[in-house]
A and B are shown apart, each in its own frame.
Chain A
Amino acid sequence: MSSTILPAEKTSLRSLVAFVLSELKPKGRLLTPFNAITAPIILIGGAVVLYRLAFGLGAIGGASQEFPLGIWIGILVMVGVAFAAGAYILTFVVYVLNEEKYHLIIRITVLNGFLAYMFYASAIFLDLGRWWNIFNPIIGNRFGVNSVLFLVAWHFLLYMLAAFLEFSPAVAEWLGLRRIRRMLGALTLGAVIFGITLSTLHQSGLGALFIMAKAKIHPLWYSEWIPVMFLVSSIFSGLSVTIFIEAVVRRWYRSQLPAKYLRSIDGIVVGLGKGCAVAMFAYFFLKVLVLTHGRHWPFLATPMGALFLVEVVGLVAVPGLMFIKGVRARNVAVIRAAAVISMLGIIVNRLAYVMIAYKWYVPWAERHFPSWMEIAVTLTIIFMHMWVFRWIVLRMPVLRDPPEWAVESGHAGAGRAE
C-alpha cells in the first residue's frame, strides 16, 4: 500500500519539492461534518488573533488586573502541556525500558506530543502583551536565570526540538530520504533521554510557577509540593490522552492500521490503563498526605472544599478505580471512559491554579470569566492541532508500517520497525 505512495528514494531536490507539493493536496472528502464545524471556527479565531494583535489584549476581554492569566494559559498551556505528557512517558517505556509491546503506538503519541507543544506552548505568544520580545529569554536580552519561567521557556523550546528529533524518522521515511533516516534513527535514544529529562523539569516547573502565588491560591491547592503534584498528574494525564487518541485513531484512521495493530492494541490499552491506575493512586495518596500534613481538613467543609472533593475524589479516585476495574476485566470501554474522566480532572486541576482557586477570596461578581473571543481562539488552536495531526497521519508512516527499506535492526531509532 505504502509503496505506491512512497517513491523509493528522492534523488533530486526538484523531485522532493514536487512530492511535497503533491502531498499538500487534501486527501478524501473536503465536506465532512468535522471540517464543516471546525473550519468556520478557525476562520473566526484567526480574525480574533488579528484583532488582538491590532488592539491589545484588553480588546478581546482576555484577562484583568486581578486575574492576569486567562484560559489561553489555563487551557492551552497548562492543560495542553499536561495532555502532551504521553510522549515522554511512552518514549521512556519503549526506548529506555525497552518494552517493545508499546512500539505500535509510539509514533502517534510522539506526534501528538510534538504538535501539542508546537500549538499549545506557542499559544503563549498570543497571550504575551509584548510578543515581539518573545525571544528575549533565548537570545539573552537578559537571562532571568533565577526565574522558574525562564526554565520553562527554554525547556519548551528544547523539548520541541527533542520531540521533533524523535518523530523525524517518520518524516524522512515519508520523503524517502534513506541516509538522513539512518542518521536521525541514531539520534533517537539521545533525543529521548534529553526529552524525558526536560519533561520532568518543565512539567513540574509549570507547577512551580505558582509557588510564589502563596498568598493567592487556596490552601487546599497550595503547598510546597505543587511541582511534584504537577509531575505525577502529568503521568496519568499523558497516558489518559494516549488512550483517548487510540480510540480516535481506531474510529477515524482505521484504514491506516496494520493487522498486527488491531491484534495487539487491546493489550496495549490495558497496559496503559494499568499505568494510569498506579499513577492516580500515588497522586491521590499524595493529595491526602499534603492535606493532612497541612492540617487543611476543616477547609473541606467550605465551598472550595466541595470543589476540591469533586476533583480529588470524583475526577481522580473514581477514574482510578475504573481503571483498575477495566484492567482486571480487560474492558477497553471502561478504560476509555476512565481516561476521559481523568482528562476532565486535569482540566479542573490546572484551571484551579490559573483562575478558580487563584484569588478564591475575590467575590463572584469581580471574578474573571473567559470571553467568547478567548474561547474562539482556544478552539481554533485545538482544531488546528487536529487538522495538522490528521494531515500527517494520512501521509507519513505514523500508524502504518514504515517502508521496507527503513526496516532495520537496532533498538534506538528503529521506529517500530521490529
Chain B
Amino acid sequence: MKMKRIEAQLALMREGFLDSGELQKYLLCSAEASGAGPISSFGRRDFLRKAGLVFAAAAGTGLAPGLAGASEQAAGGNEFIGVLVDTTRCIGCRRCEQACAGAHSLPLPATLDDNAVFEKPRKTSPTQLTVIDRRMTERGPVYVKKQCMHCNQPACAAACLVKAMEKKQEGPVVWNPNCMGCRICMVSCPFDVPMFEYDKTAPKLQKCDMCWNRLTDAKQPACVEACPTEALVFGTRRQLVVEAQKRMAQFPERYIHQIYGLRDVGGTSFMYLSSVPFEQLGFRTDLGNTPYPEYSKGFLFSVPVILILWPAILMGLFRLTRRRNNGGNGKD
C-alpha cells in the first residue's frame, strides 16, 4: 500500500502535476526534465539479469548470483530521487541536524549557537545521522553536510546477505530489522556511513534513510525542509543535475566545474556543489566511477561455473586415478 502510494506521488512529482503542498515549492520542474521519458539502460540490464537466472538454474542452486539491478534508475523506470547540497550556500546553522534528529526520534543537538562543534571534523554517529562540518579551505571556511550518499548501486546493499540494506526503487537506501548485525555493510561502504549501535543489546545499523517515512507521506526529507538558504534541494536526480549545471553556468566564478556524486562510485543520490576542490572539503576523490558492486561481480560469476565444473572434474579425476591404481595392482 505504502509503496503504491509513494510511486503515485513520485510519478506526479515527476510530471509536475503535484500542485498542492510544500513539495511543489521545492521541486525543480524544468520543462525538459518533466517531459522526457526515462533514459533507458534497461535492455542490457534485463538481459544480464536473465543470463544470471539461467546461470543460477543451471547450477541447480539458489546460491548463484543474481545481478545488482539499479544503475541510473530502478527497474520500473522510476528515476531516483535525491538531494543537491550546495556547499556555497550553507551557512552552518545546523537546523538540518536538528530536524534530522527530530524526524528520527534521536537526541536533539544541545544548542545550535555553539561553534565549538566545528573545531574538529565530525563524523556521523548512531545518534547523529547527519552532521555539518566546517572545513578551512583556500576560500575560507566552508560548511559541508554529511550523511548517507544513497548510491545508485550501493555497496552496503550488495554486501548484505539478508537484504537488510535495501535500495528502494525510488532511490533511498534504507535499513530493515531482519539485519543480522554482521557489519559487512560498514566494511563495504566507501563513505563509512552505516553506524552500529555498539552499546545496545538489540543494536540497529543507523544511517540516513532520506526520511523514507516522510517521503511515503509525500513530505520532503526533514533536512531539506529545515534548510533556510536552499543549500539543500530535493528532486529527481535528473532535475538536480540540471539545476546544478544551471548554477555552475550562471555563476562560473562561484563553483568549480564538478558535481560530486554525479559519476563517483557510479553516481549517488546526494550530490554536491563546491567552490573549492572536493579534497579540501574532506571528500574522497579517489573512489573512482565504478559502482562498488561491480568489484565483486567477477567472483560471484565464477561461483556457478565452479559449482558446475568442480564436481565433474573431481569425479573424472577419481575415475582416472582409480583405474590407474587398479591397473597397477592388477586388480579388477
Which A residues have a C-beta under 8 Å from some C-beta of B? Answer: 53-59, 62-66, 68-69, 92, 95-100, 124, 127-131, 133-134, 136-137, 141-151, 153-155, 189, 193-194, 196-197, 200-201, 204-205, 208-216, 224, 227, 358, 411
| Interface status of B106 (Cβ within 8 A of chain A) | no
The smallest C-beta distance from A391 to any residue of chain B, in angstroms, reads 31
Whether B190 is near chain A, meaning CB under 8 Å from some CB there, is yes
Beta-carbon contacts of B293-320 to A below 8 Å, as 1s and 0s? 1011011100100110011001101100
Complex CA–CA separation, A96 to B317 (angstroms) = 6
Choose from A124, A151, A201, A212 the contact partner of B187 (Cβ within 8 Å): A212
Give, as a whole number of angstroms, the nearest-CB distance from A412 to chain B: 9
| Shortest distance between the CB of A152 and any CB in chain B (Å) | 8
Contacts of A129 in B (CB 8 A): 179-183, 196-198, 203
| Nearest Cβ on chain A to B27's Cβ, whole angstroms | 33
- Give bound CA distance, A127 to B180, whole Å: 10
Q: List 14 A-B contacts (CB under 8 A).
A: A58-B200, A98-B325, A130-B177, A136-B162, A147-B158, A149-B161, A193-B315, A196-B314, A201-B303, A201-B306, A211-B296, A212-B158, A214-B292, A358-B187
Contact (Cβ within 8 A) A127 B182: yes
Interface residue range, chain B: 35 or more
Q: Are B62 and A133 in contact (CB under 8 A)?
A: no
Q: How far is the CA of A173 from the CA of B224 in the complex (A)?
A: 70
Contact (Cβ within 8 A) B65 A144: no
- B119 interface hit (Cβ, 8 Å): no
In the assembled complex, the CB of A285 is this many whole angstroms from the nearest CB of chain B, namely: 21
* Nearest neighbor of B205 in chain A, beta-carbon distance: A129
Known A54-B201, A65-B196: A214·B317 in contact at CB below 8 Å: no
Q: Give A196 to B65 CA distance when docked, in angstroms.
A: 20
Q: Within B172-214, which residues are at the interface with A (CB < 8 Å)?
A: 176-184, 186-188, 190, 192, 195-203
Task: Provide the main secondary structure of the chain A interface.
Answer: helix
Q: Which residues of B contact A92 (CB under 8 A)?
A: 314
B299-A144 in contact (CB<8A): no
B5 within 8 A of A: no
> Once the chains are docked, how many angstroms separate the CA of A131 from the CA of B202?
9
> Which A residues are CB-close (under 8 A) to B160?
144, 147, 149
Any chain A CB within 8 A of the CB of B101?
A: no
Give bound CA distance, A98 to B298, whole Å. Answer: 33
Q: Which residue of B lies closest to A209 (CB)?
A: B184
Which A residues are CB-close (under 8 A) to B182? 124, 127-129, 149
Q: Is the CB of A215 within 8 A of B287?
A: yes
Given A59-B199, A65-B123, A197 and B314 contact (CB-CB distance below 8 Å): yes
Q: Collect the chain A residues with CB atoms within 8 Å of residue B292's CB.
A: 212, 214
A65 contact set on B, CB distance < 8 A: 123, 125, 186, 192, 195-196, 198
CA–CA, A131 to B201, complex, Å?
A: 10
Residues of B within 8 A of A214 (CB): 190, 292, 295
Q: How far is the CA of A183 from the CA of B67 in the complex (A)?
A: 40
* Residues from chain B with Cβ under 8 Å of A224 in the complex: 295, 298
Whether the pair B303, A147 counts as a contact (CB closer than 8 A) is no
Expressed in whole angstroms, the minimum distance between the Cβ of A278 and any Cβ of chain B is: 17
How far apart are the CA atoms of A150 and B176 in the complex, in Å? 17
CB contact between B203 and one of A57, A189, A212, A358 (< 8 Å): that residue: A57
B63 adjacent to chain A (CB < 8 Å)? yes
* Chain A: CB-nearest residue to B297: A146
Residues of B contacting A148 with CB < 8 Å? 159, 296, 299-300
Of A127, A154, A189, A205, which one neighbours B299 at CB under 8 angstroms? Answer: A205
A66 contacts across to B, CB distance below 8 A: 192
Given A130-B203, A212-B187, is A142 in contact with B178 using a C-beta cutoff of 8 Å?
yes
Q: Which residues of A contact B233 (CB under 8 A)?
A: none
State the CA gap A311–B307 with chains docked (Å). Answer: 32
| B195, B196, B199, B292 pick with most chain A CB within 10 angstroms | B196
Q: How far is the CB of B268 from chain A (nearest CB, A)?
A: 14
State the Cβ distance, B323 to closest chain A Cβ, in Å.
9
Q: Mark B153-168, 1 if CB is under 8 A from A, else 0.
A: 0010111111110000
Question: Nearest chain-A residue to B166 (Cβ)?
Answer: A142
A136 and B178 contacting across the interface, CB-CB below 8 Å: yes
A144, B196: Cβ atoms closer than 8 Å: no
How far apart sit A134 and B181, CA to CA, in the bound complex (Å)? 9
| Cβ contacts under 8 Å, B187 to chain A | 68-69, 209-210, 212-213, 216, 358
Taking a contact as CB atoms under 8 Å apart, the answer to whether B63 and A154 are in contact is: yes
Tell me the complex Cα distance, A96–B311, Å.
11
In addition to A127-B182, A201-B306, A208-B296, 15 A-B residue pairs with Cβ atoms within 8 Å of each other are A56-B198, A59-B199, A65-B198, A69-B187, A137-B180, A143-B163, A145-B56, A146-B293, A193-B315, A197-B306, A201-B307, A209-B159, A209-B184, A212-B292, A213-B188
A151 & B162 in contact (Cβ 8 Å cutoff): no
Name which residue of chain B comes closest to A196, CB basis. B314
Q: Which residue of A lies closest to B67 (CB)?
A: A146
Question: In the complex the two chains form, what is the Cα distance from A28 to B161 in whole Å?
Answer: 46
Distance from A11 Cβ to chain B, minimum over Cβ atoms (Å)? 36
Flag if A142 contacts B162 (CB, 8 Å): yes
By Cβ-Cβ distance, the 5 closest A-B pairs, closest first, are A129-B181, A58-B198, A130-B181, A150-B161, A68-B183
Chain A contacts for B162, CB-based, 8 A: 133, 136-137, 141-144, 150
Q: Which residue of B lies closest to A142 (CB)?
A: B163
CA distance A335 to B189 in the complex (A): 42
Q: If the complex has contacts A57-B198, A62-B198, are A136 and B180 also in contact, measured as CB distance less than 8 A?
A: yes
- Distance, CA A129 to CA B186, complexed state (A): 13
- Contact of B75 with A by CB under 8 A: no
Q: A130-B203, A143-B163, A227-B299 are in contact. Are A98 and B183 (CB under 8 A)?
A: no
From B296, which residue of chain A is reached at the shortest CB distance? Answer: A211
Question: Residue B50 at the A interface, CB < 8 A?
Answer: no
